[in-house]
C-alpha cells in the first residue's frame, strides 16, 4: 500500500514538473550533446557504447551473460541467485543450477575484469604527507595516475586519505581536487559539505 502511494506521489510530481519547460540554453546544449563524442563511454572496452535504460531480464540465459548486456549499453542485469553450501549459484529454478554457473563466475569476475583492478589506497600510493602538501614526487605520481585513469575513461578516487588533523585533511582534499580527482573519499560529510561551500573550493 505504501509503495503504491509513493509511486502515485512520484508520478504526480513528475507530471507536474513535466509542464515546466526546460530553458532554451539547456535545450540547445542537450540537443547538440547527443551528437558529440563526449556522451559515450570513453573506456577501452566500452568504446562507442551509449548507456541505455535497459534491464537485461534473465541475463544468465544469454549465450554470454553480462557482456551481452554491456555490449548494448544496458544499465541493469538480472540474475536469479540461490545459496547452496556457502556458494551463490545462478539459475531460474533449482533444477537449472550447476557447479559451474556461480554468481562469482558469471557476474563478479566479469565486472572486476572491466573495471580498474583495485581501489587506490592513499598511503600506499603516496606515503605520508608532511606540512599539508605533496612533494614534487608525490604530485607527479598523482597527476600521472589521474591522467592515465582519465585517458581510459575511469573516474579517480583515493581511499583512506588522512582525516586528521583537519587542516591536513582539507589540504589533501584541495590537492586531490586540483589534480582532477573525480570523487573525494569523505568520512565527515558535513565537514566536506561546509568545506565545499566555503572559499577553499
| pLDDT tens profile 14-35 | 444 445 665 676 666 666 655 5
Domain boundaries, the chain: 20-113, 120-197
Q: How far apart are CA 198 and CA 192, in angstroms?
A: 10
Question: Which among 184, 135, 138 has a CA at the least distance from the CA of 159?
Answer: 184
Residues 6+ apart with CB under 8 A from 62: 56, 68, 69
List, as one string, the DSSP characters of 111-129.
HHHTS-SSPEEHHHHH---
Q: For a pLDDT cut of 70, what percent of the chain falls above it?
A: 73
Question: How does pLDDT run across 33-43, given as a tens digit for each residue?
Answer: 555 554 544 45
Q: How far apart are CA 115 and CA 91, in angstroms?
A: 25
153 is written with which cell numbers?
Answer: 575513461
Q: Contact 61/72 with Cβ under 8 angstroms?
A: no
Cβ-in-10-Å burial (0-12, 13-18, 19+) of 167 comes to exposed
Task: List the chain pLDDT tens, one digit each, 201 residues.
Answer: 333 333 333 344 444 444 566 567 666 666 665 555 545 444 566 677 888 889 999 999 998 999 899 888 898 999 999 999 999 999 999 999 999 999 999 999 888 776 654 567 888 889 988 889 999 999 999 999 999 888 877 888 898 889 889 999 999 999 999 999 988 989 898 899 898 887 666
Question: How does pLDDT run across 47-61, given as a tens digit for each residue?
Answer: 778 888 899 999 999
Amino acid at each position: 500500500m505504501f509503495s503504491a502511494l509513493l509511486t502515485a506521489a512520484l508520478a504526480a510530481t513528475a507530471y507536474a514538473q513535466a509542464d515546466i519547460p526546460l530553458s532554451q540554453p539547456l535545450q540547445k546544449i542537450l540537443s547538440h550533446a547527443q551528437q558529440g563524442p563526449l556522451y559515450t563511454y570513453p573506456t577501452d572496452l566500452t568504446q562507442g557504447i551509449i548507456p541505455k535504460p535497459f534491464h537485461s531480464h534473465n541475463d544468465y540465459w544469454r549465450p554470454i551473460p553480462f557482456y551481452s548486456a554491456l555490449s548494448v549499453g544496458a544499465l541493469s542485469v538480472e540474475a536469479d541467485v540461490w545459496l547452496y553450501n556457502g556458494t551463490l549459484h545462478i539459475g531460474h529454478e533449482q533444477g537449472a543450477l550447476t557447479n559451474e554457473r556461480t554468481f562469482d563466475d558469471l557476474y563478479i569476475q566479469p565486472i572486476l575484469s572491466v573495471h580498474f583492478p583495485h581501489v587506490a589506497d592513499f598511503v600506499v600510493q603516496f606515503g605520508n604527507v608532511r606540512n599539508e602538501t605533496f612533494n614534487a614526487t608525490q604530485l607527479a605520481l598523482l597527476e600521472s595516475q589521474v591522467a592515465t585513469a582519465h585517458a581510459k575513461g575511469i573516474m579517480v578516487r583515493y581511499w583512506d586519505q588522512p582525516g586528521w588533523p583537519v587542516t591536513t585533511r582539507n589540504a589533501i582534499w584541495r590537492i586531490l581536487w586540483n589534480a582532477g580527482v573525480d570523487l573525494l573519499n569523505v568520512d565527515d560529510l558535513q565537514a566536506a559539505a561546509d568545506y565545499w561551500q566555503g572559499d577553499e573550493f
